[in-house]
């Protein structure tokens, strides 16, 4: 099996690459532009493998896309490259429209040309997996879950750009017959998570005794999924998912943001005790504009049709994550040097 993973130097993409190379023994080409969020040390465990190759390019560059696909001749493309941070999309939406919309379009077109040239049975077996987010569905009230049929209602420039890319991917299946499968996932967490996101930011700020910023009153609810469970789900969806179908991926782990932060603090009180409890560092900051109240996924379709189940519950997964950050300063130390760490979404550009 030969797989192109776009965005393989990012948080989820690197987990997917590690999974495919180490667990599945697939040949993988990681196609990544290395924006501020792309960090090759996340691939330390596979970089020496003969199964792994890196291709440094932008998915908006049509000839780079064409060359990579024509030379590597994949059986599957898993598309994760994106601008992914909501706060950044509020202050600079252009990159989100460029990469998430134009980049996805460019990749779909490059894939279509290649797929049209494939003989059977490779043509029928080929899959393009478009990886997206539950944020395209907008916000839930106190009850209910996002299902695959929930109407799109995005709130932020990030989720609007992802929604656009989902529609393009689905249209390429309906119009051209390209075997596209779409996945929409809830919030991921786990090792190798970039320090601007809530969970790693909280861990690393706590360790350096900096304020732990929490938006509003911390009551927004997210449905947390351990990143390795997501990587397994994506492999399964790419392998068994039917073209034209959407699969929601979620861990059934709803938590209020403030409870996530308090849980991290109490794990750190246990593993790396200081003179005062870490929770004393919690600092409530002005809420994000357009902040969705609650996301929660109904993953029944993925569980019942494809047999996937999350292995990690939040309590064990968050402890594993904190332990990983405590043990792996080699990974996050250099990133922290480029980052002021005081606020959410304020990472400095990588030099």
Contact residues: ligand NAD, CB under 6 A: 6-7, 9-13, 32-35, 37-38, 58-60, 80-84, 99, 103, 131-133, 162, 185, 187-188, 194
Cβ closest to ligand NAD, residue 221 vs residue 281 = 221
Smallest gap from residue 269 Cβ to ligand NAD (A): 26
Smallest gap from residue 213 Cβ to ligand NAD (A): 18
Smallest gap from residue 35 Cβ to ligand NAD (A): 4
Smallest gap from residue 136 Cβ to ligand NAD (A): 9
Quote the CA–CA distance of 160 and 101 in Å, as a whole number.
Answer: 10
Instruction: Judge whether 150 and 83 are in contact, CB under 8 Å.
Output: no
Q: Residue length, the chain?
A: 351
Cβ closest to ligand NAD, residue 152 vs residue 269 = 152
Catalytic, 114? Answer no
Quote the CA–CA distance of 81 and 99 in Å, as a whole number.
Answer: 8
Catalytic, 23? Answer no
Q: What are phi and psi of 167, to 5 degrees?
A: -65, -40
Q: What is the DSSP letter of 40?
A: G
Instruction: Judge whether 279 and 262 are in contact, CB under 8 Å.
Output: yes
Where helices occur in the chain by DSSP H, the ranges are 11-18, 62-72, 86-91, 94-96, 104-117, 122-125, 157-176, 198-207, 227-240, 257-271, 300-306, 314-327, 329-337
Task: List Cα–Cα distances, 329 to 193, 332, 336, in angstroms.
Answer: 13, 5, 10
Cβ closest to ligand NAD, residue 178 vs residue 182 = 182
Rg (CA), the chain: 20
Cβ closest to ligand NAD, residue 186 vs residue 205 = 186
Smallest gap from residue 195 Cβ to ligand NAD (A): 11
Q: Which of 27, 87, 135, 254 is flagged as catalytic?
A: 135
Report which of 96, 128, 100 is spatially closest to residue 112, judged by C-alpha positions: 128
Cβ closest to ligand NAD, residue 248 vs residue 263 = 248
Report which of 335, 218, 227, 331 is spatially closest to residue 265, judged by C-alpha positions: 218
Quote the CA–CA distance of 348 and 75 in Å, as a whole number.
Answer: 37
Catalytic, 229? Answer no
Instruction: Judge whether 346 and 340 are in contact, CB under 8 Å.
Output: yes
Smallest gap from residue 351 Cβ to ligand NAD (A): 15
Smallest gap from residue 255 Cβ to ligand NAD (A): 14
* Partners of residue 31 on adjacent β-strands: 6, 55
Cβ closest to ligand NAD, residue 52 vs residue 194 = 194
Cβ closest to ligand NAD, residue 101 vs residue 207 = 101
Instruction: Judge whether 147 and 298 are in contact, CB under 8 Å.
Output: yes
Buried-exposed string 281-319: b where 16+ CB fall within 10 A, e elsewhere: bbeeeeebeeebebbbbbbebbbeebebebebebeebbe
Instruction: Judge whether 32 and 56 are in contact, CB under 8 Å.
Output: yes
Q: Which of 52, 158, 295, 339 is flagged as catalytic?
A: 158
Q: Which of 134, 196, 223, 228 is flagged as catalytic?
A: 134
Q: Which positions are catalytic? A: 134-135, 158
């Amino acid at each position: 099996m030969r797989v192109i993973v776009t965005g393989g130097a990012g948080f989820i993409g690197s987990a997917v690459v590690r999974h495919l190379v180490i667990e599945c023994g697939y040949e993988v080409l990681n196609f990544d532009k290395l924006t501020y969020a792309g960090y090759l040390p996340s691939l330390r465990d596979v970089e020496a493998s003969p199964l792994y190759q890196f291709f440094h390019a932008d998915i908006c560059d049509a000839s780079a896309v064409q060359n990579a696909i024509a030379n590597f001749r994949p059986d599957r493309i898993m598309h994760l490259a994106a601008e992914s941070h909501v706060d950044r999309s509020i202050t600079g939406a252009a990159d989100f429209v460029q990469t998430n919309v134009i980049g996805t379009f460019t990749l779909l077109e490059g894939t279509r040309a290649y797929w049209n040239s494939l003989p059977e049975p490779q043509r029928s077996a080929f899959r393009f997996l478009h990886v997206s987010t539950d944020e395209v569905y907008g916000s839930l009230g106190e009850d209910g879950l996002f299902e695959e049929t929930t109407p799109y209602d995005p709130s932020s420039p990030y989720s609007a750009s992802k929604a656009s890319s989902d529609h393009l991917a689905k249209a390429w299946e309906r119009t051209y017959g390209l075997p596209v499968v779409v996945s929409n996932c809830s919030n991921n967490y786990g090792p190798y998570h970039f320090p601007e996101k809530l969970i790693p930011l909280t861990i690393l700020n706590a360790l350096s005794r900096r304020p732990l910023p929490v938006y509003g009153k911390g009551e927004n609810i997210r449905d947390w999924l351990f990143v390795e469970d997501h990587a397994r789900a994506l492999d399964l969806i790419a392998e068994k998912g039917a073209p034209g179908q959407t699969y929601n991926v979620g861990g059934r782990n709803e938590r209020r943001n403030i409870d996530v932060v308090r849980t991290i603090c109490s794990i750190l009180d246990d593993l790396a005790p200081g003179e005062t409890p870490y929770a004393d560092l919690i600092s409530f900051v002005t809420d994000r504009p357009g902040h969705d109240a609650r996301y929660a996924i109904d993953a029944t379709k993925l569980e019942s049709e494809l047999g996937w189940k999350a292995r990690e519950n939040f309590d064990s997964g968050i402890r594993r994550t904190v332990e990983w950050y405590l043990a792996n300063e080699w990974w996050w130390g250099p990133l922290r040097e480029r980052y002021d760490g005081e606020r959410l979404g304020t990472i400095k550009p990588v030099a």
